[in-house]
Structure 1
Amino acid sequence: MELLLVAVGVLIGGMSGFFGIGGGTMLVPTLIVMGFDIKTAIGISVMQMVFSSLYGSWLNHRKGHLNLKEGAVIGMGGFLGALGSGWLLEVVPDIVLEVAFVGVVGFALYRFFHAPSEPDPSKEHDLSPAVLFGVGAGIGLFAISMGIGGSILLTPILVGLLHYPLKKAVSAGLFFVVFSSVSGFISLSVAGHIDYWHGFIVGVASLLGVQGGIWLASRTGNKKHKNALIVLYFIILVLMLKKIFFG
C-alpha cells in the first residue's frame, strides 16, 4: 500500500504543479478506488495539499507568476471559510458530499470550456478586495469539505470572469490552496479526520511531482494547457459518477 501511495503522490504532485490544483480533485476519487472511505480520503488529500501548495507556490513565486496582493486577499478568505469544513463534514452525509463533488467538477468543466485561452489584455481586474475575499471564503468552505483545495473553482473564475492570463491564474489557484489547505488541515485534525501516516507519505512524494509539473507547465502553450485542464475535469467527473451510481 505504501509504495502505491508514493507513486500516487508523485503523480498527484505533478498534476498540482501543472494544473495549479491542490490535487484533491484527482486524489480523493483515487483513494476511494483504493478502498479508503470518502472522509479518510479527504483528510489524506488535505494533508497532501499542504505539502504541494507550499512548495509549488514558492517555485511559482521564484518565476514571477504570482500576484501576491490579490492572491493574499482571496487566500485569507479561503482560510477563514475552510475553518468550517470540519463542522460541515460532521453534518453532511457521504452521498451529499459525493454529489456536491460532481457538481463542482461539472461547473469547472463548463467554465473552462467557455473561457478564452488568450484573454483580452484591455479588460481590467475590477473586483474589489471585499468581493475577492468573499469568493475566497465561499470556495474555502465548500472545497475543503470535499478534500479539494479550491483552485478547481478559482482558476476558471479568474480566467473566465476576471480575464487573468491562464498561467498566472494557475499559479494563483495553487497559492490559494496554501491558505485553504492549512486551514482545512487544522479543522479536520480537530474533527479527527486526518490519517497522518498515509497523508505524510503522499504529501512528501508529491513534492517531486510538483517540481516536474511546474517545469512542464512553463513549456506548454495556453491553448494546450486549457485543453488539458478540460480533459482532467472530465476524467474526474466520470470517476465520481461511477462511484455514485455503481459503488
Structure 2
Amino acid sequence: MDYELIFFFFAIAFLYSSVGFGGGSSYLAILSLYSFEYRLLRSIALVCNLIVVSGGTYLFAKQGHIKWKKTLPLVLISVPLAFLGARIPFKENVFFILLGSTLVIAGIIMLLEDYLRKVSIEKASKEKKDMPIVNGAIGGGIGLLAGSVGIGGGIFLSPLLHIMHWDKAKTIAGTASFFILINSASGLAGQLSQDNLTFDFEMILYLGLSVLVGGQLGSRLSVFKLSQKKVKMLTAFLVLFAGGRLLLKYLV
C-alpha cells in the first residue's frame, strides 16, 4: 500500500467535502497515474465518494442547508441516468480522455463562475420559483455524464447552480453533496449489474479510512467557517491540473 496515496486521498477528501463535493474526479486522476487495474479505479473512487459525502450530507441536512422540494427533481432523474451511464462500455483510453476533458471543462467553469454569474440573464433575487422540469433536466444530464466517467457529478452541478443563482451557497453545497451520494450509489449499481465491479478490500479499507477523516473535517469546516470561494478556487486548479495530466498521458 502506497502511503502517499493515503495522504493524497485525505487531502482531496478534505478539500472537496468543504465545498460539498466527493472528490471522485481527482481520486480517479491520481489512481490513473499508478499501475492499477482499470476497473478498480472507478470502484475505489465511487466508494470513497460515498464515504465522504455521507457525512457531509448528514451535516448539511442537520443544519437545514438542503431544500428537499428543490433538490428531489435533480436526483430523481439523475439516478436512473447515472445507472445507465455506468453501463456504457468504454475502452480504457477512451474513458480517460473523456474524464480528462470533463475535468478541464469543469475547472474552467469553476474559474469563470463569478464572471458567468454576473453576465447571466438571471435576476438579482436569489429566491426564485421552483422549476422542477429545469431541475430534472439539469440533474439528468449531469447524472448521465457522471455515471459514464465514474464520478458523483457535483463538480459540474455546483458551479452551474451558482451561475443560475439557484440558491444560497450553503444550500447549493448541501444539494451537491446529496446529489453525489445518490449518483455514486447508482453508478456502483450500474457497474455491478455488468459484473464490472472490482474490489481490493485492503486498499479500500486504508483509503476509505483516510477519506472518512478528511471528509468529516472538511464538511465541518464548510458548514461552520471555511471560505468556500477560496476552496473552490483551489479545487478548480486541482481539477485543471488533474484533467490536463490525463489528456497529456492519453492523447500525446
Superposition TM-score, scaled by structure 2 size: 0.85
1:166 has 2:172 as partner: no
Cα drift, residue 127 of structure 1: 6.1
User: 1:239/1:171 Cα in 2 relative to 1: closer, same or farther (>3 Å)?
Assistant: farther
Structure 1 stretch 198-207 or stretch 97-106: which is displaced more? 198-207
- CA deviation map 1:71-93 (0-9, x unaligned): 222122221111113321x2x22
1:209 to 191, 197, 214: 214
Q: Distance in 1 between matches of 2:154 and 2:128?
A: 18
Superposition TM-score, scaled by structure 1 size: 0.86
1:240 has 2:209 as partner: no
Cα drift, residue 121 of structure 1: 4.9
Q: Distance in 2 between matches of 1:111 and 1:126?
A: 25
| Counterpart residue type for residue 206 of structure 1 | V
User: 1:73/1:199 Cα in 2 relative to 1: closer, same or farther (>3 Å)?
Assistant: farther
Structure 1 stretch 236-245 or stretch 120-129: which is displaced more? 120-129
SS of 1:83's partner is helix
1:230 has 2:236 as partner: yes
Cα drift, residue 144 of structure 1: 2.3
Give the structure 1 partner of residue 199 of structure 2. 195
Give the structure 2 partner of residue 99 of structure 1. 97
CA contact (8 A) 2:104 2:239 kept: yes
CA contact (8 A) 1:22 1:151 kept: yes
User: 1:52/1:25 Cα in 2 relative to 1: closer, same or farther (>3 Å)?
Assistant: same
Q: How does 1:1-247 map to 2 (within 5 A)?
A: 1=1, 3-88=3-88, 90=89, 92-116=90-114, 121-126=124-129, 128-191=131-194, 192-195=196-199, 197=201, 198-217=203-222, 218-245=224-251
Where in structure 2 are there 5+ consecutive unaligned residues?
none
| Counterpart residue type for residue 221 of structure 2 | L
CA contact (8 A) 2:6 2:206 kept: yes
| Counterpart residue type for residue 221 of structure 1 | S
Name the Cα RMSD after superposition.
2.5
Cα drift, residue 124 of structure 1: 4.6
Cα drift, residue 57 of structure 1: 0.4
Percent identity between the aligned chains? 23
Q: Distance in 2 between matches of 1:67 and 1:171?
A: 9
Structure 1 stretch 171-180 or stretch 125-134: which is displaced more? 125-134
Where in structure 1 are there 5+ consecutive unaligned residues?
none
